[in-house]
Amino acid sequence: TQLLEQSPQFLSIQEGENLTVYCNSSSVFSSLQWYRQEPGEGPVLLVTVVTGGEVKKLKRLTFQFGDARKDSSLHITAAQPGDTGLYLCAGARKTGANNLFFGTGTRLTVIP
Amino acid sequence: ETGVTQTPRHLVMGMTNKKSLKCEQHLGHNAMYWYKQSAKKPLELMFVYSLEERVENNSVPSRFSPECPNSSHLFLHLHTLQPEDSALYLCASSRQIETEAFFGQGTRLTVV
C-alpha cells in the first residue's frame, strides 16, 4: 500500500511553461517535504511545510500544504531545463519508527 | 556537498562476492537510514538507526546486513546478492527520526 501518491508520474514540457505536481494521501502528516533528485545523485531537500494551508516560495517554485495536512502541491512558473529531475514528496508522522513516507515521484523533463 | 558521503559511488559484484557500502555524515544527526531505489519504484526504506540502535528493519532479506558503529557511520554489508538487488542504495541522516532527511549521492550497485 502506497501512502503517498504523486501525479502526474511523468511530465514533459517546453521551457517557459508552467506546471503543477500533486502529492495526495488519505493520512494526516505533521509535516511534508519536497525533494528533487537528479540522475545519479541522491534527493536534495527543497522545502518543508508544517502548517495546514501553508504556502512557501522558493524562486519560481511555490509549495502548498493542504488545509487538512493530507496533501500538497508544487507549482513551477516558467520552467527551465535546470528544473529537470525527479520530484519526491515525503510526509512525516510522529508514530512508529518508520516516520518518513516517500511518494511515488514525478519525473519532470523540461525541453529547451 | 550534502554533508552525507557514500562510498563507493559505483559497485559491480558477483553473486558470490561479499562487499560493504559505507556512509558517513558530518551533520551531527542522530538518525541514519538505508534506502533502496530501483527503476520505476518508489524509495524503499530498508533500515533505520537512531542513536546507533536499529529501530526498523523493513522486512529486508538477511543477505543485507547493516552496521552502525557510531552516530556518524553506517555500513551495509552485502553477501550472496541476486541480480534483482541491483539498484541505487541511498544513505540518509536526520536530526531526529521524523525530521528532514539529508541524502548522500548513493551507490549504484550492479549484481552480475
What does the pLDDT look like over B46-95, one tens digit per residue? 999 988 888 877 789 999 999 999 999 999 999 999 999 999 999 999 99
Is A95's pLDDT higher than 80?
no
Identity of the residue in A88, A93, A94 whose CB atom sits nearest the CB atom of B43? A88
Q: What is the mean pLDDT of residues B15-23?
A: 95
- Find, in chain A, the residue whose alpha carbon is nearest to that of B43: A102
Least confident window among A91-95, B33-37, B62-66? A91-95
Contact B105 A41 (CB under 8 A): yes
Beta-carbon separation of B42 and A43 below 8 A: no
A contacts of B97 (beta carbons < 8 Å): 97, 99-100
Q: A58 with A77: CB under 8 angstroms? A: no
User: For residue B66, which amino acid is it?
Assistant: P
**What is d(CA B63, CA B43) in angstroms, rounded to the nearest whole number?**
19
pLDDT at B39 over 90: no
* Number of alpha carbons in the 13 Å side-chain half-sphere of residue A56: 14
Mean pLDDT, to the nearest integer, of B93-109?
90
What is residue A96's predicted lDDT score, i.e. its pLDDT?
A: 60
